[in-house]
Chains A and B, each alone.
Chain A
């Protein structure tokens, strides 16, 4: 069965650089979510999209932006990277009535040096 696909799996960037993370949700899932998980931390909600429109927003820095495209894939853009942005970034997708919870991708490990 198709899963949530994230790319790249690993990314190393220098401070002040820009990073773009991509997410391809499960086909026919109508909601996409982004989460950030620091080392030893619980996942923190960043932002979600329902049918390509932003539906909820969490503790997402102003340096970050995200969008969902017409083909339902989503991108998380991160600018002026800081050392503290080093984390695992997860994308998840779900159906509106959440019968099976959220399906998470394998994550992108971002390291800022």
Chain B
């Protein structure tokens, strides 16, 4: 399997705190993407980071990529109740036409 694990599997934090989720993968990649999914709903693309990039920002989101360790992290700053969802990382390998999802992190923001 190309994809490894996401860490942690579940995370509960107080509103206003920062949330950090980690993702590991196994093979060479073209890019790594993060998606959010509210319960039973569709997947929403959050951010894409290419293999030659190390860090990317989008609003309250910060993504890092360490290709030497085959890992990525997603930081959500100043969390809000609306951030409660499952977060998946997905990798696009070299020479393939698909993304492979990790197991996801269930994030719960406490009021």
Q: Is the interface of B mostly helix, strand, loop or mixed?
A: strand
* Interface stretch (choices A67-75, A78-86, A98-106): A98-106
Q: By the criterion CB–CB under 8 Å, are A42 and B102 in contact?
A: yes
Q: Are A56 and B48 in contact (CB under 8 A)?
A: no
In-complex Cβ contact of A43 among B40, B47, B48, B88 (8 A): B88
Q: A55: CB under 8 A from chain B?
A: yes
Number of interface residues of B (CB under 8 A): 23
The answer to whether A45 has its CB under 8 Å from any CB of chain B is yes
- If A104-B44, A105-B42 touch, whether A98 touches B92 (CB-CB below 8 Å) is yes
* Interface of chain B residues 75 through 89 with chain A (CB within 8 A): 88
Q: Which residue of B lies closest to A105 (CB)?
A: B42
Report chain B residues within 8 Å CB of A101.
33, 35, 45, 47-48
Enumerate chain A residues within 8 angstroms of B98, measured Cβ to Cβ.
33, 45, 48, 56, 58
Residue of A33, A48, A88, A105 near B40 (CB, 8 A) is: A88
Interface SS, A side? strand
Asked if B100 and A104 sit within 8 Å, CB to CB, the answer is no
Residues of A in contact with B, size category: 20 to 34
Q: Which B residues lie at the A interface, using CB under 8 A?
A: 30-31, 33, 35, 40-45, 47-48, 88, 92, 96-104
Given A45-B98, A45-B99, A99-B48, 5 extra CB contacts under 8 A: A42-B101, A48-B98, A101-B33, A102-B99, A104-B42
